[in-house]
Amino acid sequence: MNSKTTYKFSALYLAIGAGIFSLSSIFRNELSDFVLGFCEGVSIVLMLGSAINLVRYFVKKKPQ
């Protein structure tokens, strides 16, 4: 994958992770403990992974 595609997918994964985390926070009372923990875990993994990729993208990006 080239760097622009990596950037787009990282931004998409970051948005998905933030969305899952927001929804799990909104429906905290309605979700069981297992589902809540699973949603929060998946969202944290998505956000951290995409943040790492975005940092790598901006470090490798050549100045224009």
Question: Euclidean distance between the first and final Cα of the chain, in Å?
Answer: 21
pLDDT for the residue numbered 45: 96
Local confidence pLDDT in tens for the 64 residues of the chain: 677 888 899 999 999 999 999 999 999 999 999 999 999 999 999 999 999 998 988 888 766 6
Measured distance CA(50)–CA(8) in Å, rounded: 10
DSSP annotation of 1 reads: -
pLDDT for the residue numbered 62: 67
